Amino acid sequence: MTSTVPRRPARKAGIDLPVLGLGTWRTIDRAGPDRLAGLLEAARTVGARLVDTAPVYSDAEPRLARLLRQDPSFFVATKIWDTEPEAVEAVFAEQLTGYGRSCIDLLQVHNLNGWRANLAWLDRQKAAGRVRFTGVTYQFDHAFGMGGTRADLAHVIAADQVDFVQVNMNAAEPTLAEDILPAAAEAGIGVVVMRPFGEGALLAEPPSAGFLRELGCTSWSEALLRWVLTHPEVTTVLTATSRPEHFLANAAAARSGPLGPAEAEAVADHARSVLMTRSGR
Ligand SMILES: NC(=O)c1ccc[n+]([C@@H]2O[C@H](COP(=O)([O-])OP(=O)(O)OC[C@H]3O[C@@H](n4cnc5c(N)ncnc54)[C@H](OP(=O)(O)O)[C@@H]3O)[C@@H](O)[C@H]2O)c1
């Protein structure tokens, strides 16, 4: 029998969530219906029934929603991208219909696009019972020519405006751990981490087997995931994959838990060198 991944509390939301969730950016575009069903089955097997998607992830969300229609056990995190109120309402109506639910677990303002108006709208949906928890996501300032900034994210956290934040953090890009994570934790806001493998780029140059042995890891993906879990403020880390066996490997890594401080530093050193090599510096 496969054991399940640990869970961590999200204090303000008053729930706990699996430390591992399934991201759906790009990977599900390539996965046929059987592969997608296999990914969800892998998530069920390891007790990681949490998915993150968005209406702008090609056709990932409608395909995912179709498969989850019969399974209310998954915690569904999705997003609002638009800023026009009519478009926000229309996309949300499609999301509810698609999942066959009267309420979405976590609706996040994507990249903080139009966050002031969208958070006010989200609060109304929460009061009406159509959204269980609210959130914002932040990858980098003015992402894709829209979006908010790191200062906006800090403001949203300080003003206690959401239940969850989703942030970009990995061993090569750790700066949000300095102030954003502690501020969220102090407010009891759950932290969802995106891009633990830098969209796969960090996996391109794994260290030697001897280096991994010294870390107590069997793979570089394990080391990178356990580096994220070393931060106690993190509630859940999302890994996107098109391969059920990769999701099962990520679950095994999550079960191994955080790295020690020396191992975490060694992982960060190698990850930074991978990023520098890849960006040609
Ligand atoms: N602004 C936002 O709101 C935002 C932005 C970015 C991401 N996100 C969310 O966060 C999720 C995760 O981030 P991400 O998709 O950018 O990147 P990621 O999880 O850092 O990396 C995904 C890549 O890692 C590979 N991978 C996964 N597990 C592996 C394993 N055990 N061994 C080898 N390769 C493995 C996958 O390839 P294979 O298919 O070959 O496994 C895929 O190419 C997204 O899917 C999305 O849900 C949100």
* Cβ of 198 below 6 Å from ligand 1: yes
The average pLDDT across 90-99 equals 98
Residue 154 is part of which domain span?
Answer: 8-199+234-256
Q: Is residue 205 part of a domain?
A: no
Q: Is residue 223 part of a domain?
A: no
Domain count, the chain: 1
Indicate the burial class of 101 (C-beta count within 10 angstroms; 0-12, 13-18, 19 or more).
Answer: middle
On average, the pLDDT of the chain sits at: 95
Category of 138 on φ-ψ map: left (φ > 0), alpha (ψ -120 to 50) or beta: beta
- Where is 115: in which H helix or E strand? helix 115-127
Q: For 30-45, how does the pLDDT look when each residue is reduced to its tens digit (9 = 90+)?
A: 667 788 999 999 999 9
Helix (H, G, I), strand (E, B) or coil at 203: helix
Helix (H, G, I), strand (E, B) or coil at 255: helix
Q: For 134-174, how does the pLDDT look when each residue is reduced to its tens digit (9 = 90+)?
A: 999 999 999 988 899 999 999 999 999 999 999 999 999 99
Interval between CA 228 and ligand 1 midpoint (Å): 14
Q: Using 50, 70 and 90 to split pLDDT, how confident is the model at 1?
A: low
Provide the total of helices (H) and of strands (E) in the chain, helices listed first: 11, 10
Give the span between the Cα atoms of 15 and 117, in whole angstroms: 27
* Cβ of 252 below 6 Å from ligand 1: no
The pLDDT value given to residue 30: 67
Q: What is the DSSP letter of 199?
A: T
Q: Is residue 273 part of a domain?
A: no
Residue with token string 């478009």: 87
Q: Is residue 263 part of a domain?
A: no
What does the block give as tokens for 27?
Answer: 């990977």
Atom number in ligand 1 closest to CA 25: 45
Strands 15-18 and 7-10, bridge-based pairing: antiparallel
The more confident residue out of 144 and 219 is 219
Give the span between the Cα atoms of 37 and 75, in whole angstroms: 16
* Cβ of 239 below 6 Å from ligand 1: yes
Interval between CA 240 and ligand 1 midpoint (Å): 3
What percent of the chain stands above pLDDT 70? 98
The pLDDT value given to residue 145: 84
- CATH code (residue 73): 3.20.20.100
The average pLDDT across 194-219 equals 97
pLDDT at 280 over 80: no
Interval between CA 57 and ligand 1 midpoint (Å): 13
Q: Is residue 186 part of a domain?
A: yes
Q: Is residue 98 part of a domain?
A: yes
Q: For 50-85, how does the pLDDT look when each residue is reduced to its tens digit (9 = 90+)?
A: 999 999 999 999 999 999 998 999 999 999 999 999
The pLDDT value given to residue 34: 84
Atom number in ligand 1 closest to CA 137: 3
Q: Give which of 219, 196, 225, 222 is closest to 207, Cα–Cα.
A: 219
Give the span between the Cα atoms of 233 and 266, in whole angstroms: 21
Q: Is residue 248 part of a domain?
A: yes
The pLDDT value given to residue 2: 74
Q: Is residue 41 part of a domain?
A: yes
Supply the pTM of this predicted model: 0.97
The average pLDDT across 222-226 equals 98
Interval between CA 26 and ligand 1 midpoint (Å): 8
The average pLDDT across 211-222 equals 98
DSSP calls for 123-185? HHHHHTTSEEEEEEEESSTTGGG----HHHHHHHHHTT--SEEEEE-BTTB-THHHHHHHHHH
